């Protein structure tokens, strides 16, 4: 189940970054439409949209990527929680939120903290070229250590299968 969720998160992150989607439409409208699909409270959708745009501008993260992560993690539900203990719109773990210095129960703090954490993962994995964003999103979801472990395992499998 965890792998399916991770795959969906990566697929969503790639789909929102395709050229044309954000350029052809007003970003506010695109984000608001995504949020309102799950959350019927128009005031909350407006607030969430503006918070995403603010976080995007503050930390230089594509607003559509933030939207994709939030959509996958919480379906734009401010009170979201997970069995693993993740909290809020961006599903921050308490230790991650504490490390960043945000209150995960505060919706703006949660969005800013999630964006900071996403920016960190983009910086960590950006050197992987076309795989940088999907790897960063995987690290956002599963943690950097899990991604590094998977990457090492994958290299061993490829080496074993491809080399005589």
Q: Which residues are catalytic?
A: 73
What are the tokens at 18? 């395709």
In this structure, the dihedral spanned by the alpha carbons of residues 105, 111, 113 and 117, taken in order and rounded to 10 degrees, is 130
Do 121 and 66 meet the contact criterion of CB atoms below 8 Å apart? no
Rounded-to-integer distance, Cα 96 and Cα 86, Å: 10
Mark out the alpha helices in 17-143 (DSSP H runs). 21-24, 27-38, 42-59, 63-74, 94-100, 107-125, 132-142
- For residues 21 and 27, give the distance between their C-alpha atoms in angstroms, rounded to a whole number: 9
């Amino acid at each position: 189940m965890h792998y399916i969720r991770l795959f969906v998160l990566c697929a969503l992150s790639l789909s929102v970054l395709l050229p044309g989607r954000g350029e052809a439409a007003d970003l506010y409208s695109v984000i608001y439409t995504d949020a309102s699909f799950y959350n019927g409270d128009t005031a909350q959708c407006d607030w969430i949209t503006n918070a995403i745009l603010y976080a995007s501008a503050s930390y230089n993260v594509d607003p559509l990527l933030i939207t994709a992560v939030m959509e996958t993690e919480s379906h734009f539900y401010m009170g979201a929680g997970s069995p693993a203990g993740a909290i809020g719109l961006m599903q921050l773990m308490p230790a991650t939120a504490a490390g960043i210095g945000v209150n995960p129960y505060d919706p703006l703090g949660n969005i800013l903290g999630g964006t900071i954490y996403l920016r960190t993962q983009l910086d960590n994995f950006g050197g992987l070229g076309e795989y940088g964003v999907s790897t960063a999103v995987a690290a956002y979801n599963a943690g950097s250590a899990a991604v590094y472990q998977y990457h090492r395992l994958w290299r061993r499998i490829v080496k074993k299968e491809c080399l005589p």
